[in-house]
Structure 1
Amino acid sequence: MACLGVFDSGLGGLTVVREIQRLLPSLPLIYIGDSLHAPYGSRSEDEICQLSLAQAEFLLAQGCTALVIACNTATAAAAKTLREHFPLVPIIGMEPAVKPAAAATKSGIVGVLATVGTLQSARFAALLDRFAAEITVLTRSCPGWVEAVEAGAFETPETVSLLQREVEPLLAAGADTLVLGCTHFPALRPTLQALVGPEVTLIDTGVAVACRVAEQVAASREDAGSLTLFTSGTPTVFSHSARAILGVEWLPMALPLVWKDGRLENA
C-alpha cells in the first residue's frame, strides 16, 4: 500500500497536503511539522540537510513509500542529498513558481515572497536564469510571516501590518503577480488577497506538487485515506492551526516528537 510522507519546518507544508488530499483523497499521508526549528530560512544549509535527513528517515521507518519536501528552503538545501541517500524512494520537492508567474504577468513585473534561504539559493538563481529572462523579478524575504502562521495569526492586525510592509513596495513598483515562495504563505492567502486586491495574481506550487505526486504515487481506490500528524512543537497549538489550514473542524491530535542526538523519536 502506498503511503506518502510529507515534512516541513512547521505548519506550512499542510498547504501542500491540502492540495494532495483534494487530488488524491484515498492516499494515506504522514506529516511532520518541525515547529521546534521553524523557520528554516535563517538556518545554515548543513543544518537544514541534517534536519531533513532525520525527518526522511523517520517517515520511511513509518512505512512511507514516497516523500514530499514541502518546503522551498529545505528543497534547495537538501533535495540532492536526500536523493543520494535514498535512491529508490521518489522524492518530490518544491520551488518558487517563477515559470507560471512569468506566463501570468501582464506588466512584466513579478514579486517573489520567500525566505532568505530560498532567495539566496543556487536553485532559485537557476530558476531566474531559465524562466525570468524577459521579465523583472523583485524579491522580498518576509520576516515574521512564518512565525505568524506558526502562531495561527492568519489575519490579526499585526499580521496585516507584516504583509503590507512587504507587498506595498512590490505593488508600487508595478508587480501584478506575486509568487508565494514559502509553503507557509498560502495559509495567509485570503488576508493577502484582500490586501492586494483582485487585480493582483497570487501563485504557489501546491497544486503542481499534488499533480507530481499523482504521477509518481499510485493511490489505491480501496484505501480510506488518512492523515497522521507529528510535530516537534506543541501538539495542541499545532493541531488547532492545522485544522484552520486544512479547512476541517476536527483532526486527531498531532503526535509529539522529540529531537535526540540529531534524530527524531516519539515523545
Structure 2
Amino acid sequence: MYVQRPIAILDSGVGGLTVVKEVMRQLPLERIIYFGDTARTPYGPRPAAEVQQFTREIVDYLIQFNPKMIVIACNTATAVALDLIRDCCEVPVIGVIYPGARAAIGLTQSGQVGVIGTEGTIQSGAYEQALKRLNPHIHVLSQACPAFVPLVEQGNFRSSETLAAVEQSLRTLKQGQIDSLILGCTHYPFLTETIAEVMGPDVRLISSADETAREISTILQTQGMLASQNIVPIHQFCCSGEAQMFKTIAQQWLNEEIVQTPVVWHVPKIGTLPKIG
C-alpha cells in the first residue's frame, strides 16, 4: 500500500540523523531509508552545481526503495537543489529551511533573528529570503560556522576544542541583539549544549531538524499518507564513506529509538564513488 512505503531522508553526512530521531519519536510506525554522504561531506564549501549533482545522485539511489516522500535534511542541499529535485520527483519533496524560518517568526519577540549555517547555506541567503517572505520587517544576522560540521562528523560533540570553536564562531552573533537563533544546519543540534552555553539563556535555539520532522508529520497526516499498520518498521541506514564512525554516531544519537527497532546498515556505491566495506 502507498502509505506503507518508506520516508527517504538524505544528508551530506550524519546531520540528518537529527531529523531521523524526531521522525522516529513522532511517527514510530514509519519506515525510514537514510543516506548520509559521509565520503563527500561537508557540502558547505562546495560549488552549488556540485551539491546539486551529489543530491541528484543520492535521490536516484533512494528512488529504488519506492519512497512516499523525500526529505532533503541538509540545509546546503535544500538551498541549492530543492527545486531541482522537486521537478524530477513525483512524490512530495521537502527541505529544512522553511520549517525553521516559520518557527523563528513565531518565537521571536524582538524581530531580531540569528542564523548559523554552512558557508553554502549562508552565502545562498536562503534563510534570510525565507524569513523576509514571512515577515518583511524581520532583521536577520547570519554567520557561517564552517568548523562545526567536521567536529560533528568526528563525533566530537563536547570538548574543550568544541567549546573554543563555538565561542570563536559565535563571537559576532553574541554582540547582536538577537533573541532567537536558527541552527541552520542539521549537524548543529549535536552541538546544542555547547551553543546554548555560549549564547546564554536569553537566546532561544531553533532546530531546523525538529521543525522539519513536524512538517513531515503534518504533510503525511493531511494527505492521508501515514503508515496505517501497527507493525514495527525495519529502518535502513546508508553511508558513502567509512562505515564504523557513521554507525557509532548513529547508534549514540538515536539511542533508545533503535534499541527496539530492527536496523539494516549499508555502504552502497553511489555516483563515481568506489564501494567501501
> What's 2:155 paired with?
152
Aligned to 1:239: 247
Question: Are residue 254 (structure 1) and residue 256 (structure 2) matched?
Answer: no
In structure 2, distance between residues paired with 1:99 and 1:193: 21
| Aligned position for 1:57 | 60
> 2:109 aligned with 1:98, yes or no?
no
RMSD: 2.2
Separation (CA, whole Å) in 2 of partners of 1:105 and 1:128? 11
2:246, 2:166 → 1: CA distance? 22
After TM superposition, the structure 1 = structure 2 runs for residues 78-227 of structure 1, keeping only pairs within 5 Å, are: 78-86=81-89, 88-95=90-97, 97-121=100-124, 123-214=126-217, 215-216=219-220, 217-227=225-235
Secondary structure, in 3 states, of the residue corresponding to 1:254? strand
In structure 1, C-alpha distance between the alignment counterparts of 2:139 and 2:271, rounded to whole Å: 45
SS in 2 for 1:113: strand
Asked if 1:7 is matched to 2:43, the reply is no
Q: Out of 19, 22, 31, which is 2:22 matched to?
A: 19
| 2-structure distance, mates of 1:4, 1:266 | 25
Q: Which structure 2 segments of 5+ residues have no match?
A: none
Q: 1:106 to 1:66 in 2, by over 3 A?
A: closer
Residues 207 and 231 (structure 1), Cα distance of their counterparts in 2 relative to 1, 3 Å cut: same
Conserved? CA contact 1:236–1:254, under 8 Å: no
| Distance in 2 between residues matched to 1:61 and 1:76, nearest whole Å | 25
CA shift for structure 1 position 176: 2.2
CA distance in 2 between counterparts of 1:230 and 1:146 reads 19
Would you say how many aligned residue pairs link Structure 1 and Structure 2? Answer: 265
Distance 2:242 2:226 in 1: 33
Q: Secondary structure at the match of 1:194?
A: helix
Question: Do the aligned partners of residues 266 and 159 (structure 1) sit closer, same or farther apart at CA in structure 2, a change above 3 Å counting?
Answer: closer
TM-superposed CA distance for 1:20, in Å, is 0.7
Q: TM-score, normalised by structure 2?
A: 0.87
| % same residue | 34
Q: Deviations over 1:101-128 (max 9, x none)?
A: 2332334322111112112225334214
Aligned partner letter, 2:13: G
Query: Any gaps of 5 or more consecutive residues in structure 1?
Result: none
> 1:132, CA displacement in angstroms?
4.8
One-letter code of the match for 1:200? V
Runs of 4+ that moved beyond 4 A: 249-253, 264-267
State whether residues 234 and 263 of structure 2, in contact with CA within 8 Å, keep that contact through their aligned partners in structure 1.
Answer: no
Kept in 2, the 8 Å contact 1:239–1:253? The answer is no
Partner Cα separation in structure 2 for residue 106 and residue 166 of structure 1? 24
Amino acid at match of 1:89: V
Structure 2 Cα separation of the partners of residues 136 and 110 of structure 1: 6
